[in-house]
Structure 1
Amino acid sequence: MAAPGGKLDTLPQGQYRCALPGDAAGAAWIPLEDRNFTIGNGSTYRTHQGSGTYLLTGTRVTFTRGPLKGLKFERTGSDSLRWIDDKGEPGRVRCVRSGFAR
């Protein structure tokens, strides 16, 4: 029997870099250093502010503890996430796995 919201899973381990899309007149992406995180073993992550846990159900990622607690993302590919705002709408922030965890 599947969990409500979809199958439980974990994200690929590695460093996730988050950014806003830029525009044609400037940079392609605007980095958001305060949103970057590294996925570790199991459902754990860490940032420069500390560590925490997340839950991946179907394609929805919810940070449940730690510095990113309350942030939600939609998994849009094997290595990419799109921020979901407080109203449940897709936001402009994207996070992409850019390297392996150290």
Structure 2
Amino acid sequence: MKTLPSLFLTCGLCIAAAAPVAASPISALERGRYVCETPGDAAGPAGRHEPDKDFRILGASRYVSDEGSGTYLRTGKKVIFTSGPRRGETYETQRSNRFLRQLDNEGRATRLRCIYHGR
């Protein structure tokens, strides 16, 4: 009879070991307005505003922009717009959770950056 409890214990450990674990924790961005820009140059302003890329983060992993609204998923440092007009766009948090850098299809940083500007 001693083998039956140890068998259950062994099976329980196997199931626990096989359970999927998220690679990064799911979280949300700071609610409010994000203003997007590309870097400027020494002869002009530090950044060039890209108003068509601006967006606002709402509650429940939702965003809204001039083109419409949708949802996003944030896991660790990555932010992926999963529905709406920005579907497929990917960003990575930089320096703080209030500074995002857009990534290209290969996962490399582009020149576009979006900075939190409050509610």
- Please classify the TM superposition score into its range, dividing by the shorter chain length: over 0.9
| Backbone CA RMSD of aligned residues | 1.1
Structure with bigger helix share is 2
Per the TM alignment, residue 67 of structure 1 is displaced from its structure 2 partner at its CA by 1.0
- Kindly indicate whether structure 1 or structure 2 has the higher relative contact order, using CA contacts under 8 Å at least 6 residues apart: 1
**Candidates 73, 97, 102, aligned match of 2:91:** 73
TM superposition score normalised by structure 1: 0.92
Residue identity over aligned pairs, in percent, reads 40
* 1:16 maps onto 2:34 in alignment: yes
Paired residue total: 99
Unmatched tracts of structure 2, length 5 or more: 1-19
Structure with bigger strand share is 1
- The equivalent residue for 2:48 is 30
3-state DSSP of counterpart to 1:99: coil
TM superposition score normalised by structure 2: 0.80
Unmatched tracts of structure 1, length 5 or more: none
Structure number with bigger Rg: 2
